[in-house]
Amino acid sequence: METSIVGVGVGITDRFRTVAEEKSARIEHLAPRAQRLDVKVTHRSYHNGRMEDETVELTLTGKGPVVRAEATDGDKFAALDIAVDKMAEQLRRAKDKRVDARNHPRGAKFEKGSGSLRGIDVQPASVEALRAVATGEVAVVGAEEAEEDYTPVVIRSKEFDAEWMTVEEAVDRMELVGHDFFLFIDGRTDRPSVVYRRKGWDYGVIALTASAPPEELAS
């Protein structure tokens, strides 16, 4: 795996480069298919002149979704440790999820012996129901009637358990799963929110503010 290390407002010493390359081996062990790890160190000085910090950003690219992690500390070595720990945890969770998916695959399973379906909320029609349809005891919707009710719009709905996290964590999760958006509840404001990918490395966030429902819905 190739490792690239750059500094913004700070020089990259040989010692830091050596430590970063050693820690990249830990990332490569968890993501053997990764092709490149970009390490970006940014030095920030604030207006009062007395407060400074170092931000370390990690970006892992290869086959699959991009994985990102970021940490800020007064010492760039400490920030590097925190960022590596964050990325390692994300990679472990993703690996556990893949293993669980292999061991407990989703979707329908047809049992040849009993003719039953498992893993899907559908029950096959009984012999009596099939016979009733064949004999005309149960009315079947005709083509003309079906055409009147036809609509090209298909709305599928899904429900997930709410997760509280920061915007930064939501962006990391979105990149890890490879989606263009990610729904979550902002842990700082307790508002339902969504982060989404814009052009390049830009992201956006939309949050819902609490308000009274319209009178027609309230009644």
Copy the structure tokens of residue 119. 């893993």
Task: Tell me the helix, strand and coil percentages in the chain, rounded to 5.
Answer: 35, 25, 40
Least confident residue range of 69-78, 95-104, 107-116, 201-210: 107-116
Mean pLDDT of the chain, nearest integer = 77
Instruction: Give dist(CA 156, CA 150) in Å, integer.
Output: 16
Read off the pLDDT of residues 18-47 as tens digits, 9 standing for 90 and up. Answer: 999 999 988 888 888 888 999 999 988 876
Beta pairing partners, 52: 45
pLDDT band at 67 (very low <50, low <70, confident <90, very high): confident
End-to-end CA distance of the chain: 61
pTM beyond cutoff 0.85: no
CB contact at 8 A, 172 and 149: no
Phi-psi domain of 64 (left: phi exceeds 0; alpha: psi -120 through 50; beta: other): left
Query: Using 50, 70 and 90 to split pLDDT, how confident is the model at 172?
Result: confident
Residue the block writes with tokens 């795996």: 1
